[in-house]
């Protein structure tokens, strides 16, 4: 297994990687990552056989930690959907259909990979599913912003953090490629590459919608000040000009 040639580049690689992780999830599970890496040597061996033993594994600790954190938070969100009051909101039949097809497809792929232990192929399939679901996840919000011609109620802070994570992720991969003088990690972990590319594309789209195309109007502040000024006017004018004059007898 290859090792780093430049210590500064290795430090830069680690720093950018954890910056991406903090921006995306703000969490770290060292023991879980260690157990995962020790328990799955078969996939690593298949990767070396395909791309060469001189290549580094393009999966960093922050990648595994982010995946675990994302699964946990998504499970919590789904739990909240079922226990909290939803009013008239329901899960669309299209969403149920897509999720059902994806789970069925993933299950079939697992059973196909089991006899031959094709774990690297199975990971590639899961990467494809992840990228596809990410694209499907972003499209409704972009379409809704376009139809409403507004981003009101839309959290731009989440998009800025997501964009930071995507850029830092690309920086991390580029740092490793420069150190190893090889770009295998970009297509050797195509799921990570495409996921960052899709995220950055939609993040830029959302920022253009929020800051350029559908900028929030600033007239409301002026109206509020005018209303406040009107509310501060006294109900009864106590000036001398409006006092009744006494009549001469």
Give 43's Cβ-side CA count (13 Å radius). 18
Distance CA 16, CA 221 (A): 40
Q: For residue range 119-161, what is the model confidence (pLDDT) as tens digits?
A: 778 888 888 888 999 899 899 889 999 999 988 877 788 888 8
Q: What does the domain layout of the chain look like in residue ranges?
A: 7-85+120-222
Distance CA 120, CA 57 (A): 12
pLDDT of residue 1: 62
10 closest CA partner among 169, 166, 177: 177
Distances (CA, A) of 53 to 2, 3, 45, 134, 214: 7, 11, 9, 32, 51
How confident is the prediction along the chain (249 residues), in pLDDT tens digits per residue? 677 788 788 888 888 877 777 776 654 444 445 445 544 556 566 666 666 666 666 667 777 787 788 888 888 888 877 777 777 777 788 888 998 999 999 999 989 988 887 877 888 888 888 899 989 989 988 999 999 998 887 778 888 888 998 888 888 888 888 887 878 778 777 888 888 899 999 999 999 999 999 887 765 444 545 445 555 555 445 445 545 454 444
What is the chain's Cα-based Rg?
Answer: 28
Distance CA 40, CA 34 (A): 10
């Amino acid at each position: 297994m290859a090792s780093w040639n430049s210590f500064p580049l290795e430090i830069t690689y680690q720093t950018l990687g954890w910056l991406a992780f903090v921006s995306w999830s703000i969490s770290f599970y060292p023991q879980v990552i260690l157990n995962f890496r020790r328990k799955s040597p078969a996939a690593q061996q298949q990767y070396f056989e395909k791309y060469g033993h001189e290549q580094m594994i393009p999966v960093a600790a922050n990648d595994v930690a982010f995946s675990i954190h994302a699964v946990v938070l998504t499970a919590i969100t789904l739990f909240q959907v079922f226990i909290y009051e939803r009013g008239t909101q329901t899960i669309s039949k299209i969403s149920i259909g897509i999720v059902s097809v994806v789970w069925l497809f993933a299950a079939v792929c697992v059973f196909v990979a089991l006899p031959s232990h094709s774990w690297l192929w199975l990971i590639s399939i899961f990467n494809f599913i992840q990228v596809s679901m990410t694209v499907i996840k972003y499209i409704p919000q972009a379409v809704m912003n376009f139809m409403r011609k507004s981003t009101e109620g839309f959290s731009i802070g989440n998009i800025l953090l997501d964009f930071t994570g995507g850029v830092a992720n690309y920086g991390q991969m580029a740092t490793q490629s420069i150190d190893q003088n090889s770009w295998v990690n970009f297509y050797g972990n195509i799921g990570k590459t495409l996921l960052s590319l899709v995220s950055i594309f939609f993040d830029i789209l959302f920022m253009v919608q929020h800051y350029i195309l559908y900028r929030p109007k600033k007239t409301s502040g002026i109206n509020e000040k005018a209303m406040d000024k009107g509310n501060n006017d006294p109900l009864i004018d106590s000036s001398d000009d409006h006092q009744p004059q006494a009549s001469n007898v």
